[in-house]
Chain A
Amino acid sequence: MRVRRLAAWTALPLAVTLGLAACGSGGDGGSGGSGSEAVSIQIAEPQHLVPTNTTETSGSQVLAGLFAPLVDYDAQNKPYEVAAESVTSSDNKVWTIKLKDGFTFHNGEKVTSDDYINAWNYGAYAPNGQGGSYFFEKIAGYQDLQGEKPKAKEMSGLKKLDDLTFQVTLSEPYIDFKTMLGYNAFYPLPEAAFSAPGVLKDGYEQAPIGQGPFKMKGTWQHDSKIEVERYDAYPLEKPKVQSVEFRVYQQLTAAYADVLADNLDVLPTIPTENLSTAPTDLGDRYQTSPMSSFQFLAFPTFEKEYSNPDVRKAISMAIDRDEIVNSIFKKSQTSARSFVSPVLPGYRENTTGAAGEFNPTEAKKLYQAAGGPSKITISYNGDGGHKDWVDATCNQLKANLGVDCVGSAEPKFSDLLNKVEKKQPVGLFRLGWVMDYPSMEDYLGPLYSTNGSSNYYGYSNPEFDKLVKEGSAAPTQAEAIKKYQQAEDILAKDMPVIPLRFGENVFGHSSKVSNVEMDLFQRVNLVKIEAAS
């Protein structure tokens, strides 16, 4: 008998607490109660918030609010000074960076050239394991900071001239160094960020102190949100909104539902699932803008059956890019017929020439004449939503070349890369590229030069390498671009990859904000955005 009562009594308190909880929070009507001067932006959980360790979009978006870059990019994607007064060089090897006076960190510290030098040395020092360290490899003395036990802790190429001026010596002339400075790895760090010289304070990442238009409000709430508010001592154009909440979402579809319900203000990427309905759901709040991403199919050029450029050209001609862009991507991407992104200075349309035009009859003729393989495999990573377009491409190749074609999924991107690096037969494989800074060199160098960091397909052409090198050492931008374009012409002849599509920012916003602009790096412009009245 006693036992039974016990059961009855435990059931009751449970019911009561649930009832009380319902009363307590019924009033506020859920999340997203933002004031008129606050906006919310979707991000994924950033991996890191240390400028030299941040290489993904979400972290970069938050840092863009907390820091001001040395240079930013204008409408033509050419660099102009922001935190820098001037960035000059007479020989493109020794660069003098003069800082604007009046910048202060959010803790009141004045920004000096030391803050840049310390931050860059920290980023380049290999034992710190910073993901953005490769940005500094062009600076003289970078090699001394590499290896398990580096020889030095500071790069010899960085020299302080006075409090607001410092000199950067590169190991060899590089015309695009100024363009490079817009990347977040080149932000300064305040003295307060370090616990000892060269040692970052433990909690710095939880509440980064920068010199940008916004400062942290509280700390980084992992998996939940990061809030920033306007920094009143910011010397340049001040933001229109009082505060920004970067809200962490795990799934874009959840964020999309929130934008529809006006619960979230900006969604920088509309999920693929909703692309077909988004224009009607959002009306003029559905927008697109240029972005730098580039999707292509790579050939294992080291394999005999794909070593003939004519085979590669024939396959390219047998693919109807526009059809795939329209039917699968609902025009959220555009067809690519060049080897570099259209957002770059120096971009030319149709550099692939005839090889980029869809021409099934010519393709078949060329393919048979060149003796292409009778079976084509296209490998892709199965976790990235590539199946649809790979299958569509395969069907086109089957129909237009009369060959057998299968799409083969590897579980993850790393699995695909492993196989490619071991030169296992994967057939053609998909790759993508997003630039770090708007320069043709940022495509030509890593993707196509012999030692390029992302040249997984073994393409090597000494003449091409020479032209890219000459371009980056050229005295003026115009001459550099000319060399780069000559290099691109070689690619059109050799066709080491098939350019397929260029990406676009496809974004949406709630009815509570206006003036939403996105930059080439998929980041919302935080200074321009306004709360709609």
Chain B
Amino acid sequence: MFRYILRRLLQMVLAFFGTTLIVYALMFAGQTDPIQALAGERPVTAAQRAYLTEKYHLDQTGVGGFFYRYFDYVRSLLQGDLGQSLTGRQIGDILQQAWPVTVKLALIALAVAVIFGVTAGVIAGIRRASIFDNATLVLTLLVLGIPTIVLAPLAQYFLGVRWPVFPPTAGAEPSFYALLLPGIVLGSLSLATALRLTRTSVAENLRADYVRTARSKGLVKRRIVGIHVLRNSLIPVVTFLGVELGNLMSGAIITEGVFNIPGVGFNLFRGIRTEDGPLVVGFVSVLVVVYLVSNLLVDVLYAVLDPRIRYE
């Protein structure tokens, strides 16, 4: 097990540099005129342009310029310096501010998906073709069909403004309660998928040979479902949720915008809009690490759930 994890960690280093190189290249290729993007529709003075060009090496173009800037970036990255955004803020500081709130939001969303999705999925799987099963089918289809860009403002309007159950926006240092509504909105999509996955998996496992054996041994139903079926059924769900954790953190651009949460999604969006290469690469690098670590966790969890799986 230890050797397996070590090997995976070493692979992660390679994957990390590979992805930053690609992201950096993409940002570099997409960049037209970051200085004008920063100024908006205002004319940029020559002095200002010269100053920014020199500060961010923007005069280095072409393939040679790309490698010059990339290696410059990696060199300072290895020294723990993520560089400065185009507005002159330390990207390390921005990251430090943006991550906690996004992590909180993602955890709430994940908790919502696990608690409601898995529970309802198990019930629907046991009582196949019941009213509950059909009702969840319709509901989940509905949720899967409505994109977040519609769902989030609707939830905000009805639960924040019309009937003020929740505060309409969360802000930079939100309380748990203020994050609940964005968390539910963000988690609803994963909830629906997790529910469908669990339901199918449970329904299938209930017909498996080992369940019949357990039943004929005279085990109580609660133990059959709670221990044997659930553990086997959770493997696909865990895979899904592991990947979803990464998605929740990076894909919250819409939710964070609607509920005014200055987290990772918002900063990524701003970085892309203003062609702020260092900012985007900084955030994506951390996202890559999150993905890699959550994938590793998922793989390790397999062994916990299914003792037949062994890593060497």
Contacts and interface: CB of A to CB of B under 8 A. Distances in A.
Contacts of B153: 253
A133 B48 contact: yes
Nearest to B42: A55
Contacts of B43: 446, 453-454
B257 A254 contact: yes
A257 B257 CA distance: 12
B172 A224 contact: yes
Contacts of B262: 223-224, 248, 250
Contacts of A251: 257-258, 260
Interface string A415-431: 10110000000000001
B291 interface: no
A454 B37 CA distance: 16
Interface in A247-278: 247-251, 253-255, 257-258, 260-261, 263
Contact of A224 (B37, B108, B173, B176): B173
12 contacts: A18-B111, A31-B175, A55-B42, A129-B51, A133-B47, A222-B97, A254-B169, A384-B41, A412-B32, A414-B33, A418-B33, A432-B41
Contacts of B273: 383
A149 B255 CA distance: 48
A128 B88 CA distance: 13
Given A3-B303, A263-B168, 16 more contacts: A4-B231, A29-B167, A30-B175, A31-B170, A31-B175, A32-B167, A129-B50, A130-B47, A222-B97, A223-B94, A223-B172, A224-B262, A260-B161, A261-B160, A413-B36, A414-B33
Given A31-B174, A55-B42, A129 B47 contact: yes
Interface string B19-40: 0000000000000110011111
B283 interface: no
A47 B38 contact: yes
B257 A248 contact: no
Interface string B130-167: 00000000000000000000000100110011001011
Given A18-B111, A25-B176, A250-B260, A146 B47 contact: yes
Contacts of A148: 50
B304 interface: yes
A101 B39 CA distance: 37
The 5 A-B residue pairs with the shortest CB-CB distance in the complex, in nearest-first order: A129-B51, A224-B172, A30-B167, A414-B36, A223-B262
Nearest to B176: A21
A291 to B, nearest CB: 15
A454 B40 CA distance: 13
A203 interface: no
Interface string B158-200: 0011001011111111111110000000000000000000000
B167 A131 contact: no
B87 A48 contact: yes
Contacts of B38: 47
Nearest to A20: B176
Interface residues of A, number: 61
Contacts of B169: 31, 249, 254-255, 257-258, 263
Contacts of A254: 156, 168-169, 257-260
B45 interface: yes
A131 B45 contact: yes
Given A4-B304, A22-B177, A223-B97, A257 B156 contact: yes
A131 B270 CA distance: 20
A18 B107 CA distance: 10
A413 B44 CA distance: 13
Contact of A134 (B45, B97, B167): B45
Given A3-B303, A254-B258, A413-B41, A31 B47 contact: no
B39 A131 contact: yes
B221 interface: no
A353 interface: no
B5 to A, nearest CB: 15
B172 A248 contact: yes
A283 interface: no
A199 interface: no
Given A14-B111, A257-B161, A225 B303 contact: no
Contact of A31 (B42, B167, B270): B167
Contacts of B93: 222
Nearest to B30: A411
A56 interface: yes
Contacts of B173: 224
Given A47-B87, A134-B45, A418-B32, A250 B266 contact: yes
Contact of B177 (A25, A221, A248, A418): A25
Nearest to A4: B304
Contacts of B33: 414-415, 417-418
A74 interface: no
Contacts of B301: 7
Contact of A3 (B48, B52, B307): B307
Contacts of B36: 412-414, 417
